[in-house]
Structure 1
């Protein structure tokens, strides 16, 4: 198993920021719209939609809100047409950053990305400039509680087909091949586990250590990107010092 889980540095702060801003339902709603648009409104025949519905339920998204977003995606209700755009670049400290926009205005998103990177000491690069540093993986995060046996969970995850298992102080991280993600998530769900995170994401191969002097500027750039209404996900390889509170 991997010696270091990247979830603590990457996903925990992302989840905290989403909750703080109250934007998580908006973001998941856009994912539902896109999934239903691309694969249809039936989760039994649209595995991507099924995964996003599970993600929505894990975030306590109301059922009628989920249903409405799906209907917008399938064309049953009028809705905005979103497109996915990925921007890549570097934050201060040589941190690789990938930003996924779901937007109805490509020009607005491009200008916003350029402005944030320029203003906060980063560099927006060409497509592919940092994506080679990341791998697309299914990621399932389960909160560590007294009633979960670490060894049992690890064996169950690996038997279900997981590629990797990491034990953190506050949570367990399970990594999968993207094609196996839905099957493994459903298997663990059947076994009674609930998830802090369950999504297909981008995991960095190598982390970039950020020192205390650079950390505030790096964090500011990442926070400002997260604050953009059109930004769906931010992936980066920053490893902040243990004493950094952000």
Structure 2
């Protein structure tokens, strides 16, 4: 029985991992379609598409699958008038936490209705454009693995005039303002050391401290929002 139980646990764990991977891939596919439909299929002239392709590769999506998705996107774009659009909704969540919710949608009414409903039920509300934008700054990071020489990474950060360096458990992030993206994509090509990821993100200028009970409630709230297929990223000013 113990052997059977062990196999059942392994199978459940694998199913959970597969479901998580499927959700990630589904969102990346939407990002590829959005970038392609709104900026063309050539990553040389479409910086947003180039960024999403790099993200897809970092999650081990093969180039064959990526190319197939982009080809299908061109076909769908000719048939379908309802293009996917990337939109950021702003507002406040529980405990007056400022939110910027990055979405990809082909139906604005559906997406905004879901977000408004979740916020209202949890003591928050949807704001107007630029209602919380001033609280956040838009940045970009390039990430390197720890297996690389740390001095080489620090030298790259110094040469590129980075705003900051963040050491996480798995990777080293070199932080820049969003405006430096084109400059970075040109400059990093000359370095032998290649980053594993380049990503845009939004960060609050000042974070709000919350206790452990509120922290848990906020994590549950963010998970509830992320269940919706249109929601790509959630940015907030809570210190979690």
TM-score by length of 1: 0.78
Bigger radius of gyration: 2
Query: What does residue 98 of structure 2 align with?
Result: 96
- For residues 185 and 157 of structure 1, the distance between their equivalents in structure 2, rounded to whole angstroms, comes to 14
Whether the aligned pair in 2 keeps the contact of 1:122 and 1:221 (CA below 8 Å) is no
Say whether 1:206 aligns with 2:206.
yes
Aligned to 1:14: none
Q: Residue by residue, what CA displacement relative to the aligned partner does 1:116-175 show, whole Å, maximum 9, x if unpaired?
A: 1122332322222211111111122334x2x33333312212313433222234432211
Give the conservation status (yes or no) of the 8 Å contact 1:95–1:238. Answer: yes
The answer as to whether partners of 1:140 and 1:185 remain within 8 angstroms in 2 is no
> Do the aligned residues in 1 keep the contact of 2:95 with 2:123 (CA within 8 Å)?
no
Q: Does 1:47 align with 2:47?
A: yes
The equivalent of 2:11 in structure 1 is none
**Against the structure 1 CA distance between its residues 191 and 19, is the aligned structure 2 distance closer, same or farther, given a 3 Å change threshold?**
farther
- Cα distance between partner residues in 2 of 1:184 and 1:20: 31
Q: 1:95 to 1:18 in 2, by over 3 A?
A: farther
What is the rounded CA distance, in whole Å, between the counterparts of 1:21 and 1:213 in structure 2?
29
Give the number of the structure with larger relative contact order, counting CA–CA contacts within 8 Å between residues 6 or more apart: 1
Which structure 1 segments of 5+ residues have no match?
A: 1-16, 241-246
Q: Deviations over 1:176-204 (max 9, x none)?
A: 23232254356547533442x42122121
Aligned to 1:105: 107
Q: Of Structure 1 and Structure 2, which has the larger fraction of its residues in helix?
A: 2
Output the CA distance in 1 between the equivalents of 2:111 and 2:21: 19
1:124 equivalent in structure 2: 126
Coordinate RMSD, CA, aligned: 2.6
1:85 to 84, 87, 91: 87
SS at 1:42's partner residue?
coil
Q: Deviations over 1:24-52 (max 9, x none)?
A: 21222222222222222112222222222
Q: Matched residue of 2:137: which SS?
A: strand
- Structure 2-normalised TM-score? 0.80
Please show how residues 104-183 of structure 1 align to structure 2 within 5 Å: 104-143=106-145, 145=146, 147-183=147-183
State the Cα deviation string for residues 202-235 of structure 1 (Å, max 9, x = none). Answer: 1211111121121222112111111111111211
Determine if contact 1:90/1:122 at 8 Å carries over to the other structure.
yes
Task: Return closer, same or farther for 1:163/1:32 CA change in 2, 3 Å cut-off.
Answer: same
Distance 1:110 1:76, change over 3 A: closer
CA distance in 2 between counterparts of 1:173 and 1:209 reads 24
